[in-house]
Chains A and B, each alone.
Chain A
Amino acid sequence: MNGPTDRFVLPARILHWLMAALILAMLFIGAGMVSTVNDRYPELLAWHRPIGIAILILAVIRLGVRVTHRPPPLPADVPAMQAAAARASHYVLYGLMIAMPLIGWAMQSAGGYPVVMWKGFDLYPILPHNIIVYGQLRRLHGLFAYAFFLLILVHLAAALVHAWIRRDGVFQSMSGGSRT
């Protein structure tokens, strides 16, 4: 029964799982680095910036894959409200994947900070130095991070409901595994 629209295409599946790992790591790094003043603070901060930019690049590629490849439809028996919620949550997830790194880059630019990828390579600022803009973007970066984490928890719970309770093939369309 594995028709062409049964699963996400392979690049979409690879991107999904790779980015799932990176984004979760990123949220934990972000929460961890602002929780401490020991030497993990600068270390985690040094990881946070390049991983963020990696997520931005992958998210743009993924958006390209998404618009050129129709995802498999949800099963017909998923209620319309749930299907709408799923669609909306996926729009928000894509939005956050792209917005979070951009906000991070923009806020560090506005804060007058060098946007260091690794020692010897900085990104160009994408906003002029403006402390008020920095202050607001920094606040947004934190708020969006919590929203992102909550949405990922809901997304994960819904995926597991499809996998273990409904057993309707939705989870397998992304895991690539067999339904039985």
Chain B
Amino acid sequence: MPSPSPSRNPLPALAVIALVVVVLALLFAWTGGWLTPARISGSVMVDALQSNTGKIFPGFRRAHTKGICVGGHFDSNGAGSALSTAALFTTGSFPVIGRFNTGGSVPTGADAGQIFHGLGMRFQLPGGREWRMALDQTPVFVVSNASDFIALETASTPDPATMKPDPAKMKAFLSTHPETQRFFDYLGKTPMPSSFANGTYYSINAFRFTDAHGVTRFVRWQFEPEQPFTALAKGNADTLPPNFLFDDLLQRIHEGPVKWHMILVPANPGDRTDNATIAWGPDHQRIDAGTLVFDKIATEEDGHCRDFNYDPLILPEGVAPSDDPLLSARSAAYSVSFQRRAAEGPRPDAITLELQHKGEVK
């Protein structure tokens, strides 16, 4: 079988082949975002966080860095089934792990300096299913989308000389972002819970709940504490020990379980379900879906909460994301933070170091 000898000039064919390869490579580069520097990826968001922090703490979450592990269960009373077929809302008890955390990005920073409270949770449902949540102490978020998040991180980056953000840059950002000003005003006038245990934790975003009849509603939810609220004396916080929030929770759970009620809040007509900076009006139906009980606590080093990503888009059947653009941005950014700290490998957390220092653990 003789091969036909290449009689023609091969240059035009070579040029076409080169063109095919280059076009495919360019398409790939465009898809990957390398030709569109303005496109925001999870990496861009995490880079903005890192640059705001001023340094990288290898092995730690890039935000809500300081945390502690809790475990317990959720006693569902079945009432949530009125809104969603999620297995969590069928009557019964479901295991849950959680991670209480503060707001900043410095693993050994004092609680007073990064006092914002958060709670990540992983509910284990029958058949290996899960529902993960990442909740905050505020019912609304500071920005409504990823590009504003990056702009805020940039504007609020502390000047290395003064360790404070440039007031002019913050003023410029706030003047064009009244929703962020509203958030700061809300934080300023709202009493801060004195403990992780007596605060309320909110879903931040709205989600789509679908019931057994196929009816879909937008829902936000919150976990309201059974522990009576006491306000933190904000002026005195700086005088408290660096891990006072974590020490307090350790002591409380060693003494007995702490409990919250999961309150489901369906949207009223006119409520914004695609913008987490806008609070919903006051008159809403409230469904108490059950009781969250935490009766175990351990440091991140010993507990089993640190190495999970509390991605708010890991949802059970019966719950789906809303059109809030913040949800996919949170999911993408959390994933990148998880990848980076995983590649670096985890390091001992501040509470473990404190207990080692006190000689309470090895």
B15-23, B155-163, B198-206, B234-242: which lies at the interface: B15-23
Any A CB within 8 A of the CB of B313: yes
When C-beta atoms are compared, the residue in chain B nearest to A154 turns out to be: B21
A111 close to B309 (CB less than 8 A) = yes
Contact residues in A for B313 (Cβ distance below 8 Å) = 42
Given A41-B328, A42-B313, A36 contacting B28 (CB threshold 8 A): no
- 11 additional contacts (CB under 8 A) given A113-B309, A149-B28: A37-B40, A37-B146, A41-B332, A75-B1, A114-B128, A124-B128, A157-B18, A157-B20, A161-B14, A161-B17, A164-B16
A135 touches B17 (CB 8 A): no
Residues of A within 8 A of B21 (CB): 153, 156-157
Q: Mark A107-143, 1 if CB is under 8 A from B, else 0.
A: 0000111100001101010000111101110110000
A120 touches B28 (CB 8 A): no
Q: Is A167 an interface residue (CB 8 A)?
A: yes
Contact of B4 among A124, A135, A157, A168 (CB under 8 A): A168
B32 at the A interface (CB under 8 A): yes
Complex contact B10–A37 (CB within 8 A)? no
Indicate with 1 or 0, residue by residue over A138-164, a CB within 8 angstroms of chain B CB atoms: 110000000001000100110011001
Whether B342 lies near A131 (C-beta < 8 A) is yes
The reply to whether A156 and B328 contact each other, CB–CB distance below 8 Å, is no
- Cα A149 to Cα B26 in complex, Å, equals 12
Query: In whole angstroms, how far apart are the Cα atoms of A168 and B14 in the complex?
Result: 16
- Using Cβ atoms and an 8 Å threshold, which residues of chain A touch B42? 34, 37, 41
Is the CB of A22 closer than 8 A to any CB of chain B?
Answer: no
Which A residues contact B (CB, under 8 angstroms)? Answer: 1, 27-28, 31-32, 34-42, 75, 77, 111-114, 119-120, 122, 124, 129-132, 134-136, 138-139, 149, 153, 156-157, 160-161, 164-169
Residues of A within 8 A of B333 (CB): 37
> Is B74 in contact with chain A by the CB < 8 A criterion?
no
- Per the 8 Å Cβ criterion, residues 26-70 of B in contact with A are 27-28, 31-33, 39-45
For the complex formed, measure the closest distance between the CB of B230 and the CB atoms of chain A, giving whole angstroms.
Answer: 35
Instruction: Offer 22 A-B interface pairs, CB within 8 angstroms, sorted by A.
Output: A32-B32, A35-B31, A35-B33, A37-B333, A39-B328, A41-B328, A42-B313, A42-B331, A75-B1, A111-B309, A114-B130, A135-B339, A135-B344, A139-B343, A156-B21, A157-B17, A160-B13, A161-B13, A165-B10, A165-B13, A166-B6, A167-B3
